[in-house]
Structure 1
Amino acid sequence: MPALDDVRVLDLTRVLGGPYCTMLLADMGADVVKIEPPGGDFVRETPPFHDDDDNFGGYFQSINRGKRSIELDFTSEEDREDFLSLVKAADVVVENYRTGTMEKFGLEYEKLAELNPQLVYAAMRGFGDPRTVPSPKQDEPAFDLVAQALGGVMHQTGQSDGPPTKVGFGIGDIFTGVLHTVNILSALHYRDRTGVGQFVDTAMYDSMLSLAERAVYQYSYTGEVPERCGNAHPTLFPYNAFEAEDGYVVIAALTDRHWQSLCERMDRPEWAVDYPDAADRLEHRDRLRDGIAEWVGSQSVEETLELLNGSVPSGRVQDVSDVYKSEHAHQREMLVESDLPESDETVTIAGTPIKMAKTPPEPGARAPLLDEHREELLGNAEQPSKPEPSPEPTASEQDVGAMGFPTSQSQDD
């Protein structure tokens, strides 16, 4: 029995952060209904496409697996009624539009909660929602790049003599999506204890500030803005990438025991005596870094790792082709095959990192075709999917596209 097999999620999100959140819920067994505007989530049109099937690209396939799809036009009264019929039986609604967008259709949280008091309404926005905590930026759009820039992540990423650099993958979306999942699960736990749903929101800006927590406390303690330091760490050494003859190796010898082992493998036992603790190593990091770099550079990646394996935390800097060859990735089911709608071929997508002994998550079926599940969803809209309620405890503007959904969303990648 999957952990969330009694949870139904109505997914109004598009692009990356929101769909990644609802994908995690689907992996854990939730029935995720992807409600798409006329024409569908525009990420369907994003490459790469498979030679044998161009119904949707790899971007859409990767983060929309295990979901069902229905196409609704919120400018249509009939389609709004169909949506409300789904809300009656839903546990969660997830959306990632700017503040005020759902109000334009009369589908805001307060209206939906009147219809279904147990509903968890989860808004993922660039700068949050005034229902929880207001922001002077709450009416502004945000994308992954904007969130990384404002949250301090870009300033900390890159070489010391280079420009601020975004993290290669869309962490402004993905990390926010992960935190949004935590937010939703916490609200569901409260709902299961009390019978009462609630509004929750996760802001991309907030998420990046949380991710950049080290810079926050460093500035508080020292009064200085931390500088970029490439692959190194500002307060720990050795913790860096070193170039070998045929690639790069990372070495993280942080404890005294790891440092002693590294010195032995490098045939520099005197370093273990001269620099016995972390403060000594940090003070003399330039000299020690040059010595480690010279040692790693004199041999191959494999030779370096054979010497360090089991005694010093280390690893090869891998590209994705290396990951495909990784025994760990295959045994941990982190590379999974997904079907194509109109082909016997399969494509490989990333598996789920969430592992559970009794209710193991499982990446679901391929991503859905647009409106593929209309008949089964509207035919079963009144069927309840949540537990019986417990007694209740005492206690901005966005343009709307012609077809009924906003023309922009709160995050992108």
Structure 2
Amino acid sequence: MTELPLAGLRVIDLTRALAGPYCTMLFADLGADVIKVEPIDGDMSRTQGPFRQDDRDRLFGGYFGSINRNKRSIAVDLSQPGGAEVIRRLVRDADAVIENFRPGVMDRFGLGYERLREENPRLVYGAIRGFGDPRTGESPYVARPAFDVVAQAMGGMMAITGRPDGDPVKIGPGIGDLYPAVLTAFGVMGAIWDAQRTGHGRFVDVAMYDAIISLCERIIHQHSYTGAVPGREGNDHPLLAPFGVFQANDGWIAVAAPLDKQWARMCEVMEIPNLSHDPRFATNAARVDNRDQVREVIEQWTSTRSRAEVTDALADTVPVGPVNTADELFADPHLKVRRMLVEVEQPGSASPVILAGQPVKFADTPSSPFRRAPLLGEHTDQICREIGLTATDITRLRAAQTVV
């Protein structure tokens, strides 16, 4: 079996919460040795649930476990000189370090980019911040903290999400964290490739605000081209029809048939073939102008059928699929075949838990079983020995509570 593509790569993970750990999880899932450096009392998300009912130990819950799998853990007090020295030793043989503190925090610990590249000139340093780092452009908001909801709000996403007559709506998953995490992984890998050719690392900076602007690119070009200020449109698309979510007799189903041939096929299935030639509906532009009538026609048909019946009737030529709930995902055969529901050990519980799998697949490399998230400091001794510390050194650091 071919090794995972990032086998042999080492990433020092100085992140916490969601954005940073998700970024480093992507490296770990693809085979990199990710060393998670936690504070002495652990990543803040360790104590956040959900927890299994039989888990009395509560060493970590689903939040932490889902995004810190496949990593090793060392617990270090960065505020102590000995702790900072442990990190400097770690980066000497690392390909990248990734952190998501506010600007200046790592510099105060003596662990900023300029100091760490003295230890390893080819080191790639990835930073995820709310509003970026002064090294790449100093935002007037640079000192502000940020969470997902702030990035979604400021980046324009909430202004175009929700019903036209309703409040702005946050997208359910923490996309203000997750998308910056993916972009950071992309940028860091690009810089690692460059470092392997040149021997010189780079500072890679992704602002959460910037990432959501990139994700909402449509509203930028729409405003530039037309002066329009796009607003909330529910589940409709401003340029395509039909394209949205429709009521079936057992729930909701997504249907997208903006191409004229798709619409013609849909009219055949609904047994109103002449409708595809009606001037009000013959072209996508016409259907956009008459989207309310299009919705009425479609829902007259879908509302008398189950989601499965609608899917079976359309799926050969028209993009269609049910609005699934979590329990329905667990029953979907696609997710089983694609290994998108992965069983992982849960310390403290008698049975394993299920995590979302890794969507990046490789034809010549079957998916490896996930390793559970590490216990706090589970690999401290092992990692300390790897960086040349003796048993006496480790005992001294433990006695001073520099490492755990």
TM-score by length of 2: 0.93
Q: Tell me, in whole angstroms, the C-alpha distance in 2 between the residues paired with 1:168 and 1:235.
A: 24
- Residues 360, 100 of structure 1: CA spacing in aligned structure 2 closer, same or farther, 3 A cutoff? farther
Q: Which 5+ residue runs of structure 1 have no aligned equivalent?
A: 384-402, 405-413
**Aligned sequence identity (%):** 48
Q: How does 1:82-121 map to 2 (within 5 A)?
A: 82-121=86-125
Distance 1:306 1:197 in 2: 52
TM-aligned CA deviation for residue 192 of structure 1: 1.1
Correspondence 1:162 to 2:169 = no
C-alpha distance after superposition, 1:52-109 (max 9, x if no partner): 3321100000000000001110121111111111111111110001111111111111
- 1:187 alignment partner in structure 2: 191
How far off is 1:33 after superposition?
0.5
Residue 357, structure 1, aligned to residue 366, structure 2: no
2:344 to 331, 338, 342: 338
* Letter of the 2:301 counterpart: W
The match for 1:328 among 305, 330, 334 is 334
Inter-partner Cα distance in structure 1 for 2:352 and 2:210: 38
**Structure 1 position 343, deviation (Å):** 4.2
Give the direction of change, closer, same or farther, for the CA distance of 1:261–1:152 in structure 2 (3 Å limit).
same
- Counterpart residue number, 1:388: none
Residue from 42, 45, 69 that aligns with 1:43: 45
Q: Residue 12 of structure 2 aligns with which residue?
A: 10
Structure 2 gap segments, 5+ residues each: 390-400
One of 67, 70, 80 as aligned partner of 1:63: 67
Amino acid at match of 1:62: S
Post-superposition CA distance 1:199-257 (Å, at most 9, x none): 10111000000111111111112212112110110110000101111101111002111
2:282 pairs with one of 276, 283, 286: 276
Q: Name the CA distance, whole Å, in 2 between partners of 1:103 and 1:282.
A: 53
> Equivalent of 1:136, from 140, 146, 159?
140
Deviation at 1:342, TM superposition (A): 4.0
| Matched residue, 1:208 | 212
Q: Deviations over 1:254-295 (max 9, x none)?
A: 211111110101111111112332122222222122111221
Q: How does 1:246-265 map to 2 (within 5 A)?
A: 246-265=250-269
Q: Distance in 2 between matches of 1:289 and 1:51?
A: 45
Task: Tell me the residue number matched to 1:295.
Answer: 301
Instruction: Find the residue that maps to 2:136 and give its secondary structure.
Output: coil
Tell me which amino acid in the other structure corresponds to 1:7: L
Q: Is the 8 A contact 1:28 1:362 kept in 2?
A: no
Residue range with higher mean Cα deviation, 260-269 or 73-82: 73-82
Q: CA deviation at 1:359?
A: 4.3
**Aligned partner (choices 222, 227, 230) of residue 223 of structure 1:** 227
**Deviation of the 1:377 alpha carbon:** 0.2
Selected match of 2:179 from 150, 155, 175:
175
What is residue 407 of structure 1 aligned with on the other side?
A: none
Bigger Cα displacement from structure 2, 112-121 vs 50-59:
50-59
Deviation at 1:361, TM superposition (A): 5.4
Q: Which moved more, 1:118-127 or 1:219-228?
A: 219-228
In structure 1, C-alpha distance between the alignment counterparts of 2:142 and 2:135, rounded to whole Å: 11
- Measure, in 2, the Cα distance between the counterparts of 1:118 and 1:317: 47
Superposition RMSD in Å = 1.5
Specify which structure has the bigger relative contact order, considering alpha-carbon pairs within 8 angstroms and separated by 6 or more residues: 1
